[in-house]
C-alpha cells in the first residue's frame, strides 16, 4: 500500500513563502509631513529644498569616506601591531614638522582667533561675494600668505608669542590652515546659481553687479596661492550693537518730535528743509547731466558725461570721481576689457614662471618695423627701434 500524501496547508503544496514580510509604504499624509519638515529645515539653513538635499548628500558622502578611511587605518594598524597595547596613545601618528597637515574642522582656538584678528587688520583687498544668499568678504590666499610673511606679523608675534612661527612654506600653510580648522574662514569657488537644477539656464539673465560672485564652499580646504577664502568670522560685535542702539535712540527721538522744546523743533524744521533742498539739487543735477549728454552727443560726439560714475556700484566719494568724462561706446569697452584680460594673463604667466623656476621672468619685447621700400635708386631699409614693455604683476 502506498503511503497517503502529506496534508497540504493553506499555503499550498510548496510550503510557506520564503523571505520576510513586505515593507510598508508610507501613507500620503506621512509623505506630506516629511516634505513639510524638509522645507522647514531648509528654510532654517537659508537654502532651497534642492540645495538642502544636496547639502545632506554631501555630508553623508563625507561621513562614509571618513568611516572608510578610519576602517582602513584600523585594519592596517591591526596588521602592523597584532598584539594588544596597554597604552594606545603612544602609537598615535604625530604630524612631522615641515609637512602640510590635513584639515579636520573643529571648535575655534585662541591662536586661530588671534591669527584671524591679525589678518582682518591687514589690507587683503577683500571682495564682496554671495554665499548662501548672504554678503560675505572674500580674499585671495596669496595676499594672506604675504601678510603672514611680512614684518607686521613678526611684530604681532612679539606682542602675542602664541602665534605660530613661520620658517618655511609648510609652516606658512599650516599657520594659514588654522582658519579653516576653526571654521573662521573657508575656501570657496565660483558657483553657477542654476547648478543642480533640471531646467536649462535662462537666456536673458538679470544685470549682474560688477565683481560680485556667487560662491559655494569647496570640500577640499587647501592653501593654494590663487584660491579664494571667505570670512565666516566677523570679529567683535560690540560696535555693531552700539550702532544699533544709537539707531534705535535716534528713531525714538524722532518719534517723540511733538515733545521736543520749541527751539529744538524749530532747528529740526530748518534741517528738514535743508535736506529737502539738497535732494532737489541732486535730482536737478541728475536731469541736467542727461540733457548735457544729449546736447554734446550731437554737437561734440561721442558726448560728455557729468559725473560718469554717479549710478555705478561704487562708494559715495567715488560716485563723484571723475567730474566729467567722454562717453565710451560699448565696442570700445569690450576692447579695453580684452586688452586688460590679455595683460592679466601674461602677468600671471610671468608670475607662474618665476614661482616655478625661482628666476625673474624675461621681459616681453614687441618689435615693429616699416616695410622695405623698393625704388630705382639705392635700396633703403628703415627700422624702428624695438620697444620693450615690462608687464608687472598687478596683484
Range of the domain at 127: 110-192+210-235
Distance CA 256, CA 262 (A): 13
- Whether 274 maps to a domain, the answer reads yes
C-alpha cell of residue 252: 525714538
Report pLDDT for 153.
Answer: 92
- In a shared domain, residues 269 and 327: yes
pLDDT at 361: 54
Task: Look at residue 153 and tell me if it is in a domain.
Answer: yes
Residue 264 in domain: yes
Least confident of 59-63, 233-237, 282-286, 340-344: 340-344
Beta-bridge partners for 138: 127, 230
Strand, helix or coil for residue 323: coil
207: helix, strand or coil: coil
Listed in order, strand segments (DSSP E) in 191-341 are: 213-217, 228-231, 304-306, 324-326
Cβ atoms of 159 and 205 closer than 8 Å: no
Same domain, 186 and 134: yes
- Does residue 337 have a cis bond before it (omega within 30 degrees)? no
**Whether residue 224 is found in the same domain as residue 298:** no
**Distance, CA of 348 to CA of 353 (rounded, Å):** 9
Residues 216 and 304 in one domain: no
pLDDT band at 391 (very low <50, low <70, confident <90, very high): very low
The reply to whether omega before 302 is within 30° of 0 (cis) is: yes
Q: Could you read off the pLDDT of 169-193 as tens digits, one per residue?
A: 999 999 999 999 888 999 999 887 6
Does 169 map to a domain? Answer: yes
Q: What is the pLDDT of residue 119?
A: 92
Among 310, 340, 370, the domain-final residue is 340
Segment 268-291 mean pLDDT? 93
Domain count for the chain:
2
pLDDT of residue 291: 94
Regarding whether 223 and 273 lie in a shared domain, the answer is: no
Confidence of residue 295 (pLDDT cuts 50, 70, 90): very high
Within a domain: residue 166?
A: yes
Asked if residue 119 has a cis previous peptide bond (ω within 30° of 0), the answer is: no
Residue 141 confidence (pLDDT)? 93
41: in domain: no
Domain membership flag for residue 94: no
| Measured distance CA(260)–CA(266) in Å, rounded | 10
Q: Are residues 114 and 173 both part of a single domain?
A: yes
Euclidean distance between CA atoms 12 and 118, whole angstroms: 80
pLDDT for the residue 348? 58
| 243 pLDDT tier (thresholds 50, 70, 90) | very high
- Dihedral angle of Cα 31, 33, 34, 40, to the nearest 10 degrees: 150
Query: Which of 308, 340, 372 is the last residue before a domain boundary?
Result: 340
116 with 228, same domain: the answer is: yes
193 vs 197: CA distance, rounded Å: 9
C-alpha cell at 46: 537659508
Q: Mark whether 271 and 304 lie in a shared domain.
A: yes
Higher pLDDT, 71 or 218: 218
CA angle 325, 330, 334 (to 5 degrees): 105
111-122 pLDDT per residue, tens: 999 999 999 988
The pLDDT of residue 95 is above 70: no
DSSP one-letter code for 221: -
Decide if 162 contacts 263 (C-beta within 8 A). Answer: no
Q: Do 117 and 223 sit in the same domain of this protein?
A: yes
Instruction: State the Cα–Cα distance between residues 176 and 119, nearest whole angstrom.
Output: 10
Report yes or no on 286 lying in a domain: yes
pTM of the model: 0.42
Domain check: are 152 and 187 in the same one?
Answer: yes
Helix (H) or strand (E) holding 270: helix 262-299
Look at residue 94 and tell me whether its pLDDT is greater than 70: no
CB atoms closer than 10 angstroms to residue 273? 10
Q: What is the pLDDT of residue 79?
A: 52
Please report the pLDDT score of residue 303 as a whole number: 87
The CA distances from residue 331 to 210, 216, 327, 334, in Å, are 18, 33, 12, 5
The answer to whether 50 and 197 are in contact (CB under 8 A) is yes
Domain termination residue (choose one: 340, 362, 388): 340
- Do 309 and 270 fall within a single domain? yes
Q: Is the pLDDT of residue 374 over 60?
A: no
Are 218 and 314 part of one and the same domain?
no
Amino acid at each position: 500500500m502506498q503511503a497517503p500524501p502529506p496534508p497540504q496547508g493553506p499555503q499550498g503544496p510548496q510550503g510557506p513563502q520564503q523571505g520576510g514580510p513586505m515593507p510598508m509604504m508610507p501613507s500620503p499624509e506621512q509623505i506630506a509631513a516629511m516634505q513639510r519638515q524638509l522645507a522647514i529645515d531648509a528654510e532654517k539653513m537659508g537654502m532651497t529644498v534642492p540645495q538642502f538635499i544636496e547639502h545632506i548628500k554631501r555630508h553623508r558622502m563625507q561621513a562614509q569616506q571618513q568611516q572608510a578611511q578610519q576602517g582602513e587605518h584600523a585594519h592596517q594598524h591591526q596588521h602592523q601591531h597584532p598584539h594588544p597595547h596597554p597604552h594606545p596613545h603612544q602609537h598615535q601618528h604625530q604630524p612631522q614638522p615641515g609637512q602640510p597637515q590635513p584639515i579636520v574642522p573643529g571648535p575655534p582656538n585662541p591662536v586661530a582667533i588671534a591669527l584671524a584678528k591679525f589678518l582682518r587688520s591687514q589690507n587683503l583687498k577683500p571682495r564682496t561675494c554671495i554665499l548662501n544668499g548672504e554678503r560675505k568678504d572674500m580674499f585671495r590666499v596669496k595676499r594672506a600668505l604675504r601678510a603672514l610673511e611680512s614684518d607686521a606679523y613678526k611684530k604681532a608675534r612679539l606682542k602675542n608669542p602664541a602665534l605660530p612661527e613661520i620658517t618655511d612654506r609648510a609652516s606658512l600653510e599650516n599657520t594659514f590652515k588654522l582658519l579653516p580648522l576653526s571654521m573662521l574662514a573657508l575656501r570657496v569657488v565660483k558657483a553657477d546659481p542654476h547648478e543642480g537644477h533640471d531646467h536649462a539656464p535662462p537666456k536673458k539673465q538679470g544685470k549682474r553687479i560688477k565683481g560680485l560672485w556667487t560662491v559655494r564652499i569647496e570640500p577640499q580646504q587647501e592653501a593654494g596661492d590663487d584660491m579664494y577664502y571667505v570670512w565666516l568670522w566677523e570679529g567683535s560685535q560690540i560696535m555693531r550693537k552700539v550702532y544699533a542702539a544709537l539707531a534705535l535712540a535716534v528713531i525714538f527721538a524722532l518719534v517723540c518730535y511733538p515733545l521736543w522744546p520749541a527751539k529744538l523743533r524749530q532747528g529740526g524744521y530748518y534741517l528738514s528743509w535743508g535736506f529737502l533742498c539738497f535732494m532737489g539739487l541732486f535730482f536737478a543735477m541728475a536731469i541736467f547731466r542727461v540733457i548735457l549728454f544729449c546736447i554734446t552727443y550731437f554737437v561734440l560726439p561721442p558726448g560728455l558725461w557729468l559725473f560718469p560714475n554717479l549710478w555705478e556700484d561704487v562708494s559715495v566719494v567715488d560716485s563723484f570721481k571723475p567730474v566729467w568724462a567722454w562717453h565710451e561706446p560699448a565696442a570700445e569697452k569690450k576692447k579695453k576689457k580684452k586688452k586688460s584680460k590679455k595683460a592679466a594673463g601674461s602677468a600671471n604667466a610671468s608670475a607662474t614662471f618665476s614661482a616655478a623656476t625661482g628666476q625673474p621672468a624675461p621681459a616681453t619685447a614687441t618689435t615693429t618695423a616699416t616695410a622695405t621700400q623698393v625704388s630705382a635708386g639705392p635700396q633703403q631699409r628703415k627700422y624702428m627701434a624695438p620697444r620693450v614693455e615690462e608687464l608687472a604683476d598687478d596683484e
